[in-house]
A and B are shown apart, each in its own frame.
Chain A
Amino acid sequence: MPVTGLYFIQETTTPPAISILTDRLSKRHQPIPLGRWTFEHRLLRENPPPLPTTPSSPTSPQQSPQQPAPLQQHKFMQWLDLSYHPYMLFILADKQIVTSEREFELIVRSKMASMWTVRQTLRAVGYGYEVDDFRVRIADLTQGDQVKGVVVEIEYTPCSYIEQGEGIIRDFMAGLQPPDGRFTFAPNEGYESGREWTLLDTGRQYCEILRFR
């Protein structure tokens, strides 16, 4: 898989960031339109497990009813549906990411509804372009009627290693003098060096920037 970078612009700008970028792309390069692209992202939260109503649970010691249950770290799940991968869904549950068929959504909605609830839905609509060795996709991110920012995805097609690809993608973006934003290349723990870029790495970046918007 080619290395892919995601640049996220949170601030609203005038003119809108999407027009600034599209304008500069077409003035400084010869972009070939790839057509419309969209994505949908859902954030789900794990529902707290039911509280035992009977105090005679053998595993837990007696607690006074006033004492609140220990604050649990909620687990999150994220679904990402990219229009240019129409047959699959990226799913990040806690720290494990997989790609699966769309039917996964049906399983969770119909049979795991007591465990997981959708808390947030984000949508993005925009256009993609091919610029030499790059594929650039720009989209406005919205939650309902609210604009949440602009997402720019840059794929550098000849390269499958982050070590080489990251700098080139950053340089390309810098060449467009974009409004302030940030890249989300590596997870906190970094990447294993010499490992090939996978689709899951791309999915993980989306989940990272879209988690709380």
Chain B
Amino acid sequence: MAKPQHVTQFQNSHQELSLYSHIPASRQPPILRIISGITGMLPENSLHHHLVFKPKRPKQPGGGGAELYYVQLVSKVEEMEDEKGKENRGYELRKQKWKMTLEDIPEVTRKPVTSRSVLSSNIAEGDAIAFVESLGYTFQSAYFTRSSRLMHGNVIIKLSQILLPQPTPPSSTPAPGAVFGNPFPTSSLTTLDPAKSWILKASVRVQSNQDVESLNTGVNGLKGFKELMKGMCDLEIAERLALDTRVR
């Protein structure tokens, strides 16, 4: 069947080129200010809810067969405050707009940046959580990311921190959906890293991994930004296996 020509088939999925740097908690405010100066924009702050799902089936023994991957549902948490400056605590997990995301393991490459394909699809209507479960996945864990996002040319700069929901006390009977975590009150979220450090990720999205010219432009954009940040932080390639999303 001929698909309408004007429809872009794939809008979210892309090849992601990236560099990373570890930022100690005390360095985060000045670094954010500096990047804000470089980019000439104020950071866009956001909180995202991540649900990690693992395939229910076991991996084929002996290493044969296709790989299985973890998938995530990601949703932006609206941080609303009422007139008294109190947080809006009515968080409805099932009413959130979720995006299903599957990040591939970074490819083996000689490029001076990390390169991986990121596939994602927004789920518009329906119960995304129950849906992913019926695809053959089971809920594994939940976390939140607090991040500040800026743009420098085609480079997306994201300073983020992983936060964990408050563990439910084992004695009490948990409310339905409690395992997925509730972001409110946000003060109850604790950082995964006890030192409260941040990750700076600089990335460029290229639509196709076959498009060598755009890939080179992307790599050069990242190299340029790395140069610019020299002396403030070192942007490096991530350890490939640290970003492995395959089920073992």
On A, residues with C-beta under 8 Å from B are 38-40, 46, 49-50, 52-54, 75, 77, 81, 83, 86-88, 91, 93-104, 106-107, 110-116, 123, 125, 198-200
Interface residues on B, range: 35 or more
**Which 8 pairs from chain A and chain B are nearest by CB?**
A98-B126, A114-B66, A94-B134, A49-B57, A104-B121, A103-B121, A50-B60, A96-B131
Asked if A123 contacts B61 (CB within 8 A), the reply is no
B68 at interface, CB cutoff 8 A: yes
**How far apart are A55's CB and chain B's nearest CB, in angstroms?**
11
Asked if B100 contacts A50 (CB within 8 A), the reply is no
Given contacts A77-B135, A103-B119, contact A98 B58 (CB under 8 A): no
**How far apart are A204's CB and chain B's nearest CB, in angstroms?**
10
Contact of A52 among B61, B68, B130 (CB under 8 A): B61
In the bound complex, what is the Cα–Cα distance between A86 and B5 (angstroms)?
A: 10
In the bound complex, what is the Cα–Cα distance between A184 and B66 (angstroms)?
A: 38
B12 at interface, CB cutoff 8 A: yes
**Please, which residues of chain B bring their CB within 8 A of the CB of A75?**
134, 136
**How far apart are A149's CB and chain B's nearest CB, in angstroms?**
17
Contact of B12 among A53, A86, A103, A114 (CB under 8 A): A103
**How far apart are A97's CB and chain B's nearest CB, in angstroms?**
6
- Closest chain A residue to B130, Cβ basis: A96
**How far apart are A69's CB and chain B's nearest CB, in angstroms?**
14
Instruction: Please give 15 more A-B residue pairs, beta carbons under 8 A apart, in addition to A98-B124, A103-B120, A115-B135.
Output: A50-B61, A95-B134, A96-B127, A97-B126, A98-B126, A101-B11, A101-B121, A103-B121, A106-B119, A107-B13, A110-B119, A114-B66, A115-B136, A199-B125, A200-B125
- Closest chain B residue to A108, Cβ basis: B135
Asked if A50 contacts B65 (CB within 8 A), the reply is yes
**Please, which residues of chain A bring their CB within 8 A of the CB of B133?**
96
Asked if B121 contacts A46 (CB within 8 A), the reply is no
- Closest chain B residue to A89, Cβ basis: B121
B179 at interface, CB cutoff 8 A: no
B62 at interface, CB cutoff 8 A: yes
- Closest chain B residue to A101, Cβ basis: B121
Within 8 A of A (CB), among B95-141: 100, 102, 104, 119-128, 130-131, 133-136
**How far apart are A44's CB and chain B's nearest CB, in angstroms?**
10
- Closest chain B residue to A199, Cβ basis: B125
Asked if B12 contacts A101 (CB within 8 A), the reply is yes
**How far apart are B171's CB and chain A's nearest CB, in angstroms?**
29
**Please, which residues of chain B bring their CB within 8 A of the CB of A102?**
7, 9-10, 121
Contact of A98 among B2, B9, B10, B125 (CB under 8 A): B125
The 7 sampled A-B contact pairs (Cβ below 8 Å) are A50-B61, A53-B61, A54-B61, A103-B9, A104-B100, A107-B120, A115-B55
**Please, which residues of chain B bring their CB within 8 A of the CB of A97?**
126, 131
- Closest chain B residue to A123, Cβ basis: B1
B90 at interface, CB cutoff 8 A: no
**Please, which residues of chain B bring their CB within 8 A of the CB of A112?**
69, 135-136
Asked if B69 contacts A111 (CB within 8 A), the reply is yes
**Please, which residues of chain A bring their CB within 8 A of the CB of B1?**
38-40, 81, 123, 125
Asked if A106 contacts B131 (CB within 8 A), the reply is no
In the bound complex, what is the Cα–Cα distance between A33 and B11 (angstroms)?
A: 32
Most buried by B among A50, A111, A123: A111
In the bound complex, what is the Cα–Cα distance between A94 and B130 (angstroms)?
A: 10
